[in-house]
Amino acid sequence: MAEGILLIISGPSGVGKGTVCRYLLTVREALKLSISTTTRSPRPGEEEGKEYNFTTTPQFEAMIKDGSFLEWAVVHDHYYGTRHETVQELLGQGKDLILEIDIQGAEQVRERVPEAVSIFLAPPSMADLEQRITGRGTEERDRINSRLETARREMDAYHAYDYLVINDTVENAAGLISAIIDAERCKVSRGARPPGRGGENK
Ligand code: 5GP
């Protein structure tokens, strides 16, 4: 079985990565979302093992030491990381896998997995992004300010990515990402073969 495609999706805080990724999962059956490990506390409605694996700082640091992570980073004062095990298991089953991770993590994955496909999700305008961050209403003022500052800085990272997708509507952004996955699947360099040359004959 062909290995799945490893997709990195990053973008500034508040751009709507989570919404776009969740929508994508409903329209592409073979697509899975990697569950990260984090030391931040669950937000209302978040469940252990669903949005994240929630853990403590000492436990996370022990996992760094024993080499459990494909990548990890500190984002807004908390640890976040992707475990090797999660990635290997799902790609090995032929599933395409989304890593919804920050720009530091994306850099590490690009280095370690050169065939990973990286997508930068950007807002239609900076005013739109600021409104989304301010309007989320789940955080205190200084958290919001820190997110705004990080978001503006994160926008500069787009040039290191393979693709840029504007999140004007969830459907449009997900449609473009879906087209990127289809195009990657057609790549000869990724193992696409015609019938009689190793391709499936349906
Ligand atoms: P939140 O706490 O709002 O869910 O996520 C905060 C930030 O952490 C987002 O930019 C998200 O993409 C990033 N993030 C989530 N999981 C991971 C991960 O496993 N690794 C890295 N490097 N960043 C992550």
Ligand 1 pocket test target in 72, 80, 133 with most atoms within 8 Å of CB: 80
Q: Is the pTM of this model over 0.75?
A: yes
CATH number (domain holding residue 64): 3.40.50.300
Contact 163, 117 (CB under 8 A): yes
In a domain, 159, yes or no: yes
pLDDT of residue 149: 87
Ligand 1 in reach of 150 Cβ (< 6 A): no
The answer to the question of residue 64 being in a domain is: yes
Q: Are 39 and 57 in contact (CB under 8 A)?
A: yes
Q: Is residue 60 part of a domain?
A: yes
- 102 C-alpha to ligand 1 centroid (Å): 5
- The response to whether residue 154 sits with its C-beta less than 6 Å from ligand 1 reads no
Residues 32-86 pLDDT 10s: 999 999 999 999 999 999 999 999 999 999 999 999 999 999 998 999 999 999 9
Residue located nearest, by CA, to atom 15 of ligand 1: 101
- pLDDT tens-place string over residues 4-23: 999 999 999 889 999 999 99
Q: Which domain holds residue 73?
A: 6-190
Residue 143 or residue 179, greater confidence: 179
Atom 17 of ligand 1, nearest CA residue: 101
What does the block give as tokens for 124? 């239609």
Q: Whose CA is nearest to atom 6 of ligand 1?
A: 75
**Strand segments (E) across the chain:** 6-10, 31-33, 36-38, 52-54, 69-75, 78-83, 96-100, 117-122, 163-166
For residue 136, what pLDDT band results from cuts at 50, 70 and 90?
low
Task: Tell me the mean pLDDT in the region 189-202.
Answer: 83
The response to whether residue 102 sits with its C-beta less than 6 Å from ligand 1 reads yes
CA 18 to ligand 1 centroid distance, Å? 10
d(CA 191, CA 182) in angstroms, rounded, equals: 13
Residue 72 within a domain:
yes
